[in-house]
Chains A and B, each alone.
Chain A
Amino acid sequence: MTMRTPLKTARYLGSAKEGADHFWKQRVTAVANVVLAVFLVWLVVSLTGADYATVKRQLGNPLVALGLLSLVLSGAIHMRLGMQTIIEDYVHGEGAKIVALMLNTFFTIVVALVSIFSVLKLSFGA
């Protein structure tokens, strides 16, 4: 039986050393999102009021589909990191924080998968 607390093994090891990785991913996706956000605005504005056949054809266009997939990928990573920061700033209870961080990941994956599947179906499906 040991009398040592778990703190003994954590002390003096410094941070988890993942901060730079978080920062860098946030900035790389931010740069990509500048271009992809402009693309999204153009796409949505150009399809405002369009009939279904036009929308389906446009969203199935390979270049448009690739742009959308890039947006969803980059946007999902970016928004998950951002919400993680918000949660870590405001949710202080350890249990609540872990649950919130999990929900953040689940929400991001659901949004990304729904979007990606839809774009792929519009590209390949009947």
Chain B
Amino acid sequence: MQAIPGRSSRPERPLSPHLQIYSPLINMMMSIVHRITGAALYVGSLLLAVWLLAAASGPDYYDYVAGLLGSWPGKIVLLGYTWALMHHLLGGLRHFIWDTGRGYDLKTVDLLSWGTLVGSLVLTALIWIGVAMSGGL
């Protein structure tokens, strides 16, 4: 008969090294940010739901919600939402490349990770310049 190891008899084993052991590398940082932006977009989905609900509820509700979103705190939240969306989107594209088994050499990993960060900032800036130029700011 095979011995079944119980929880009580489990020996003390060393834990695998966790985040604080490693020096921060861009790839690791972008991986963490990808998860954080994902969680932020999860909460941010409420913004879309509330915006659509307000539009479906009539002009008074819509003007109220649009006023909140258009206030300075609202704009800062929307700016953050834009960046989170762009970062998560580019991070997703990076993962598609890795899903094909390509891009795993260190140079490409670094390039893709920096590209995610720089690209997300550039796209966010372009979108808000677009908003400003159409008179939305």
Contacts and interface: CB of A to CB of B under 8 A. Distances in A.
A122 B55 contact: yes
Contact of A79 (B41, B59, B92): B41
B122 interface: no
Interface string B96-137: 100100000000000000000000000000010011001110
Interface SS of chain B: helix
Contact of B92 (A34, A40, A56, A115): A34
B49 A79 contact: no
Max chain A CB contacts within 10 Å: which of B70, B99, B136?
Answer: B136
Contacts of B96: 27, 30-31
Interface string A65-103: 000100010011001001100100000000000000000
A7 interface: yes
Given A7-B4, A79-B42, A117-B56, A45 B127 contact: yes
Nearest to A68: B52
Contacts of A79: 38, 41-42, 45
A82 B62 contact: no
Interface string B33-47: 001001101100110
B52 A118 contact: yes
B131 A125 contact: no
Given A34-B89, A48-B131, A83-B39, 17 more contacts: A27-B96, A27-B99, A30-B92, A30-B95, A45-B130, A48-B134, A49-B136, A52-B59, A52-B62, A59-B52, A79-B41, A111-B48, A114-B50, A114-B53, A115-B48, A118-B49, A122-B56
Interface of A: 7, 27, 30-31, 33-34, 37, 40-41, 45-46, 48-49, 52, 55-56, 59, 68, 72, 75-76, 79, 82-83, 86, 110-111, 114-115, 117-119, 121-122, 125
